[in-house]
Structure 1
Amino acid sequence: MANAGKGKISGKVTDAVSKQPVDYATISLFKQGSTSPFNGMSTDPKGNFSLDNITAGDYKLTIDFLGYKRHTIEHVIVTDGGNLALGNILLEPVQNQLKGVDIVAKAPIIENRIDKMVYNAANDLTAQSGAAIDVLKKVPQVTVDIDGNVELQGNANIRFLINGKPSSIFGASLADALQAIPGSQIKSIEVITSPGAKYDAAGTGGIINIILKDSKVQGINGSVNLTAGTRQENGSLNLNARKGNFGVNAFFSGNAMLNSTVLSTNNRRSTNTAGDVTRLFQNGSSDSKRSGYQSGINFNWSITPKDELTASVGFDHFGNHNSGLTNQQQTITDGADNILSDILSLRNSDSKFSAYSTDLSLDYKKTFKKEGQELEVLVTTSNSKNTSNYFQQQDYLNNDAVTTGIRGNNPGNDRETNISVDYTHPVTKTFTIEGGAKAVLENLKNVTKTDTLLADGSYINNADQSYAFNYKRNIYAVYLSTSASLFKNFLDVKLGLRNEYTTTSTDYGGVVIPGYNTLAPSAVISHKISPTQSVKLSYSYRIERPDYGEINPFYNISDPNNISTGNPNLKPEKSNSFELGYNQSFNSGANFYIGSFYRRNNDDIQQFTTPYDVLTINGKEYTNVLLSQRANLGTQTSIGGNIFASVPVTSKLNLRSNIFLVSRNNNAPGINNITAFQYRVNLNASYQFPSNFMAEAFGNYNSSTRTLQGTRPKFFWYNIAVRKQFWDKKASIGLVASNPFSKYIDQYSTTSGPTFNQSSLRQLPFRSFGITLSYKFGKLEFSKDKGKEGREEGDQGMPNEPAGK
């Protein structure tokens, strides 16, 4: 064995005052007499660290973290085959004003852990000026198109969480919700492509967890971030206060996309059963704007050294408004190309969407005397009130046809409650058992009211398109997982099994959704080749339950030629996924990761478009229509890979690049069988100039790809940013530009079937310029709390770094 005859150093880092474990503390190992470490790592969330494969000898070990004095241990003696346990190492905090804090240890931009990849957005310059959707564009394995649609490893079925908890805000409109969270409010983003049994089985693509900034540092401190721009504006305020064993964190953040005009051209050709050819040409523009905010307050109470209670309440809102004019020409010709009809019309459309949500959570965590033993009870409830309104009117310009129009009002309510109990029990130092149970109770109510325009300009209610749609879904789950180190720590293994039973009911006539059971196994096997190299193999079984919007039978007729609706008969999509990854870090600070994956989806849920010469909806006829809805269309098999590299070229210049590749095969019997290739490449360069001045550039290219019925467009965008820090790094000012040399991003796409083909061009204004301001304020007080002097070593907790780190 390669590690034979070599030793190991392990220990745990704890705050000397609070006795809380210190996460992300930097462990550095030096040869005696050397000023540069040759080995090291960061502590895990429980403060633990372990350095393996150390040659016998005499070493020096240091521990560093923000707000603490450096701890040095001289003459660390390692013997052949020995395991040197340093035990609990107490870090002494420093008492200082914020301006005196020196950031010694800073988490890297990308961290690759055994079960997740972590993108530390707080350390990324260009990420701070945009919204969450802009931050996601820089995360490895994540792809975001120009409209804000997110994919993880090429799969759009993603489970989104905020601080590890679900929120109904994501169910209303994911793209709008991600636009409402400023990047300056995000601490990190966790990407979990092979979730273990502890996680919900929902999301065949995996889980994306957005971690917002908070603080458990004693004292009062906070930060303000503001961005003003030509296309987007946002701001956030974060305030932290902690005294002794009680802390409060409050925040408010807002985001607005200023009015922008999108140009669009659409050309469709279709053939009806009689052989006549219909051509529809649409050309127009649409003005759109978007805004939203997030706010919340969190309370943390360390009741005893082993009992912690956390409560939070959050209020969120986002909305958008779109209005546009479209010129239309529809011609019908016979087989000899003789014109049978030529109609010119003008369509005026307007739509609004608004969502308000309230999130409440109560989390109780108990730790025990035995290291790693933990009990957690979590209750969350989220309530979202959504309203959508639309209007469209069609005036005919070259005949005597009567003006037609329709308007709709669609209020709804979504309430979701999660109750979970999790328990972790370490049987031995190398073998741990975890188990738990969870209930998810979801209730959605929706009312649709539709009015039809009359010849005299008034509206009358259309009873055939006015109805209520109520939907309830309950999920009951239990899980069991084990983790162990085998063959003298040669392999780390984590095996899990989760069982979920789903019941669904709806009051929509004729729709019966039977209950079903899901058994979801998962496995992760990891081997640490050396202190700087590791390899991981994982497997997970996941499902994608149809969400409310996908099954809602409401017809969206804002464009009478392009109508969409839900499918109440959708079945859940099922996925088997395998992933293999290799990671290596270097003493220079460079990091390299390469990974591959294989995923097969059954009952694959895809968007499908069907042409109709005449489509009758509740007694009203619509001509020359493309109807789009989701359906279970056979299988999808994906094979892909991801390459990430971060290289400090010099002490000032750092380059970072990510390449994502995927080959996808869709087999939809009776419809189509296609194989498509897609790739994404990005490059990030940052340079640290003297006098606290920094510059960064980021570019991203997404290729076009085939779909079942056409193509999705390619796109390229880039950001340039500079920042100057002053006032002892408490304040900063920055300038940022996106696509400064091109006003629009052109989006070409096609859709086709046996009797029709359609090509479209959308021109999206993406060029923008902005200025960012940030300020950190307050006092960090690490004074000793007499009420905590009696705490025992080994107490557990999850402290976070200060906001704005």
Structure 2
Amino acid sequence: MKKFITILSLLAFVGTSAMAQFPGGGPGGPGGRGGQRGDGNGRPGQQQTPTLNLEGNAPKGNSKITGFIIDEAVTTAVEFANVALYNKENKVVDGAMADEKGKFTLSRVAAGEYKLVVTFIGYADKTIDNIKVEKGKDIDLGVIKLATSAKQLDEVTVSAEKSMIEEKVDRLVYNAEKDITSKGGDAADVLRKVPLLTVDLDGNVSLRGTSNIRVLINNKPSTIIASSIADALKMIPSELIKSVEVITSPSAKYDAEGSGGIINIITKKSTIQGLTLNVDAGAGIRGSNLGLNGSIRKGKLGVTMGGGGRAFYNKAGVSLDQSTLVNGNTILTKQTADAFDNGIFGRYNLGFDYDISKNQSLTAGVNFGTRNFIRTQDFTTNIYSNNVLNSTSFRNVDSKDLSNSVDVNLDYIRTFKPSQEWSVSTQYSKSNLKNNFLAELLDESGTLASRQKNLNNNINQEVTVQTDFQTPIKTNQMFEVGLKGIFRQVNSDFSYQVAGATGDFASDVRNPAGLLDYSQNIASGYLSYTYSTKNKYTFKAGARYEYTTIDARDQIKDIDIPAYGNLVPSVNISKTFGNTTLKAGYNKRIQRPGLQQLNPNFNLANPQNITIGNPSLRPEITDNFELSVSSSIKKLYLNASVFGRQTNNSILRLSSPSDTLIGAVITTFQNIGTQQVFGSNIYGNLNITPKWSVNAGVDVFYNYLEGQTRNVDGSSSLSSNTGVVVGGRLQTQIQLKNGWGIQGFSFFRGRQVQLQGTEGGFYMYSVGFRKDFKNKKGSIGLATDNFFGGMVRRSTLESAQFKQVSVNNIYNQNVKLTFSYKIGNMRMVEQKKTKSVRNDDVKAGESNNNN
């Protein structure tokens, strides 16, 4: 049925008999429909009326039959509808396709009696009988109205159903729109279910054991992602996500950034003609969501507008046991804290696309994201010196992470012939981030003694301009070339203020105010060549050169960071044997530091556990190798891969005791490390029945890290740490009768090594049910997450000077009710091909927000 639908969308006439009788009625060129020339861009070309070829037996005349085809509900043109003319013997004698305005013309019609049949996917067939044509006289049928066919739409939905997991030549695709348990969540909930990916409880993403990746949204970057991937994922409601692409071996066409690979989140776009409005809502004991998305398309112009928001509320408990060695004395810190989190996140968009002509198009869009995360924590801290209690303090902290971002893009693409195209893409992005806290310090009796606050304002903006050109060479080769410029500006302005129990705040002389002005400009160009052989070998090789200049200054002086250039090669080879594909790849990648690694602001919300950035960081350089095999065996799909990764100049977290704050540990970032990773991924999908599928995967990798750490006497020495990390996932989905569906999911990741300790493992699970309405326009669902008491994660840090054990209890049990409904009329149109900016070059920060 899926193949049948594909053929229908390419035919100029209904039925294989019509196709046989008209040479112009077969499929067009790449991207075209039958009876017309395709523009190679997924769009039909200019209409051409087919020529009769009935071996001299078809009558020819000089009359015309014309008319306009519209949708009876929304009174808009039905573009490219199929028109067939039958004689009294019920044989096709002529045919055509409607143009973009719904108009069709049948020329050279002989005198006689006929009937006309109009067809298009998603509509009921329309037959006009008793058409009498007189010699030399034209007939205008006027407006012909087509009614939507619910039955046909149902067939399209079922037969075009995608698998949850698809593997393409250069990427793995997770079709998130089929996931019924993620409704009411955010992008982090979706990414947790994607093979090869790990998303921890804070929303930090890693690919094959590394968090040095690049996340794109619809092939585009966002400045909020540069600040923190975890924060950005919370802004994107799960209902907006169509699919997630995991690219482990990017070609030279992609920016060199992202040592582990690229994750591309594809949101739902309008592929319909007419006017629609989608409503998604959900309510749960941990969070609620609301989304509205509308689209209207008429002729050459399409407009989409909408977005979604999510609010959550969650409790957490944290304990910290920490011992430090200071001047020969052992300082023991025991700390507990109860936390309550409130967050409101949203992402909203307005988009336009316009066909200038059959081979030129413009797209433009504005995306706005907002994030408001508020955490209240009540700390109790006991400090012991040589096992004797030295002090007890109470600290109530209100932290506010507030941010908003805007991305504006304008893109142009021109197609010269099939697969030969030139594009220009531009984008402006800006994010504003406030990371503030207000602390109240209480004495042992609980009386307010003093107050502290930190004000930290950050701005991250960038302008990107790029141009790309690709052209085929013969039928089995492709050449691609492109140029790109990124102009990035990062600013951080921070200050600490103190006050007594009453009175005004004043600057803290022990922690003076500071700032960072950081400008980064990147010029790059690439060449890529693809060659395919008749015996199903495909070779893709390319190289990219990037030159980076940096100007940085703090409040006092310039920061000397020399310019640097990088040549980044990539090679990918694949070979297909029947249902089995073997792939091998090598690429070199760059990982530049992100805002949270650069920001020199001391985060003193918890004075026993402080984080500070380093504006002098330089990029990491990584060599990646991978070998994979995939095969389909009846109802079973299997994919297995082995990979290796060597990273030099690695950016690692480095912790050491504070010289001024007793019992405190300060964490910063340094280019001190070398990291080696070797591992394997095994993934399988089994369709037990057409309605029941099960997929599972296992990830195993060995991690070796080494770097310079600080000794007790203040000197440095080479330290190392090794370990094996195991993770896995299991998911099943069943489609039942009468529109019912059920899905279950579970995931775990074992303990992961760090240079100075380990990061605790964790697991997650969920079960969901959904009931589709009979008209297929809506559904209602019920899902539950982690219903056996929430999560516990235990992590350690250790060196010659200190030892830290932290336990994080996250009470994230959740039950949620979801509702989705679609109103308006829709019909299928061709999805347009677009080009847009892709910035893949910033190491995203880590988040300490638990929710």
Question: Whole-Å Cα distance in 1 between the matches of residues 7 and 569 of structure 2?
Answer: 33
Partner residue of 2:320 out of 263, 266, 269: 266
Q: Per-residue displacement from partner, 1:667-716 (whole Å, max 9, x unpaired)? A: 22524211111121111111222111111111111111221111111112
1:465-476 matches, within 5 Å, as 465-476=512-523
SS at 1:135's partner residue?
helix
The match for 1:568 is 615
The match for 1:595 is 641
The match for 1:30 is none
Q: Does 1:110 align with 2:138?
A: no
**What displacement does 1:185 show?**
0.6
The match for 1:3 is none
Asked whether the 8 Å contact 2:9–2:121 carries over to 1, the reply is no
The match for 1:376 is 423
Further displaced range: 648-657 or 286-295? 648-657
**What displacement does 1:467 show?**
2.6
The match for 2:334 is 281
Question: Which entry has the higher C-alpha Rg, 1 or 2?
Answer: 2
Partner residue of 2:454 out of 394, 408, 419: 408
Partner residue of 2:624 out of 559, 563, 577: 577
The match for 2:64 is none
Q: How many residues align?
A: 704
1:44-193 matches, within 5 Å, as 93-95=121-123, 96-97=147-148, 99-100=150-151, 101-102=153-154, 103=157, 104-193=159-248
SS at 1:202's partner residue?
coil
Q: Does 1:345 align with 2:393?
A: yes
Partner residue of 1:326 out of 361, 379, 383: 379
Question: Whole-Å Cα distance in 2 between the matches of residues 476 and 47 of structure 1?
Answer: 33
Q: Per-residue displacement from partner, 1:650-680 (whole Å, max 9, x unpaired)? A: 2332111121111111122524211111121
Q: Per-residue displacement from partner, 1:547-591 (whole Å, max 9, x unpaired)? A: 122122111111122111111221111100011111112443x32
Question: Whole-Å Cα distance in 2 between the matches of residues 187 and 123 of structure 1?
Answer: 8
**What displacement does 1:782 show?**
5.9
**What displacement does 1:371 show?**
2.0
Question: Whole-Å Cα distance in 2 between the matches of residues 306 and 749 of structure 1?
Answer: 57
Q: Does 1:644 align with 2:672?
A: no
Q: Does 1:623 align with 2:662?
A: yes
Question: Whole-Å Cα distance in 1 between the matches of residues 377 and 309 of structure 2?
Answer: 26
**What displacement does 1:407 show?**
0.7
Question: Whole-Å Cα distance in 1 between the matches of residues 258 and 397 of structure 2?
Answer: 34
Q: Per-residue displacement from partner, 1:509-567 (whole Å, max 9, x unpaired)? A: 2521111001100111010111x221110111101111122122111111122111111
Task: Specify the code of the residue in structure 1 equivalent to 2:615.
Answer: P
Further displaced range: 492-501 or 99-108? 99-108
Partner residue of 1:557 out of 599, 604, 624: 604
The match for 1:304 is 357
Identity of aligned residues (%): 30
Asked whether the 8 Å contact 1:21–1:797 carries over to 2, the reply is no
**What displacement does 1:783 show?**
9.5
Q: Does 1:493 align with 2:543?
A: no
1:669-680 matches, within 5 Å, as 669=708, 670-680=717-727
Alpha carbons of structure 1 residues 397 and 457: separation in structure 2 relative to 1, 3 Å? farther
The match for 1:726 is 773
Q: Per-residue displacement from partner, 1:220-276 (whole Å, max 9, x unpaired)? A: 223211111111212222212111221111121111112x221111111222233x2
Alpha carbons of structure 1 residues 155 and 47: separation in structure 2 relative to 1, 3 Å? farther
The match for 1:653 is 692
The match for 2:291 is 236
Task: Specify the code of the residue in structure 1 equivalent to 2:489.
Answer: N
**What displacement does 1:194 show?**
1.1
Partner residue of 2:405 out of 351, 357, 362: 357
SS at 2:738's partner residue?
coil
1:420-499 matches, within 5 Å, as 420-454=466-500, 458-462=504-508, 465-486=512-533, 488-499=534-545
Asked whether the 8 Å contact 1:98–1:780 carries over to 2, the reply is no
Q: Does 1:316 align with 2:331?
A: no
Task: Specify the code of the residue in structure 2 equivalent to 1:266.
Answer: L
SS at 1:194's partner residue?
coil
SS at 1:623's partner residue?
coil
Partner residue of 1:419 out of 456, 459, 465: 465
**What displacement does 1:461 show?**
1.7
Asked whether the 8 Å contact 2:324–2:331 carries over to 1, the reply is yes
Superposed CA RMSD? 2.9
Q: Per-residue displacement from partner, 1:747-776 (whole Å, max 9, x unpaired)? A: 111111102211121110110000011112
Question: Whole-Å Cα distance in 1 between the matches of residues 340 and 211 of structure 2?
Answer: 27
Asked whether the 8 Å contact 1:129–1:736 carries over to 2, the reply is no
Partner residue of 1:666 out of 678, 701, 705: 705
**What displacement does 1:147 show?**
1.2
**What displacement does 1:143 show?**
0.3
How does the TM-score come out when normalised to structure 2? 0.79
Task: Specify the code of the residue in structure 1 equivalent to 2:719.
Answer: N
1:705-724 matches, within 5 Å, as 705-724=752-771
Question: Whole-Å Cα distance in 2 between the matches of residues 610 and 344 of structure 1?
Answer: 23
The match for 2:733 is 686
Alpha carbons of structure 1 residues 500 and 112: separation in structure 2 relative to 1, 3 Å? same
**What displacement does 1:398 show?**
8.0
Q: Per-residue displacement from partner, 1:8-29 (whole Å, max 9, x unpaired)? A: xx99974859x9999999xxxx
Q: Does 1:293 align with 2:339?
A: no
Partner residue of 1:762 out of 808, 821, 824: 808
Q: Unaligned 5+ residue runs, structure 2?
A: 1-5, 14-26, 34-39, 45-78, 83-118, 124-146, 709-716, 836-851
Asked whether the 8 Å contact 2:413–2:834 carries over to 1, the reply is no
Alpha carbons of structure 1 residues 504 and 12: separation in structure 2 relative to 1, 3 Å? farther
**What displacement does 1:725 show?**
0.8
Task: Specify the code of the residue in structure 2 equivalent to 1:238.
Answer: N
Further displaced range: 563-572 or 217-226? 217-226
Question: Whole-Å Cα distance in 2 between the matches of residues 156 and 23 of structure 1?
Answer: 38
Question: Whole-Å Cα distance in 2 between the matches of residues 798 and 517 of structure 1?
Answer: 30
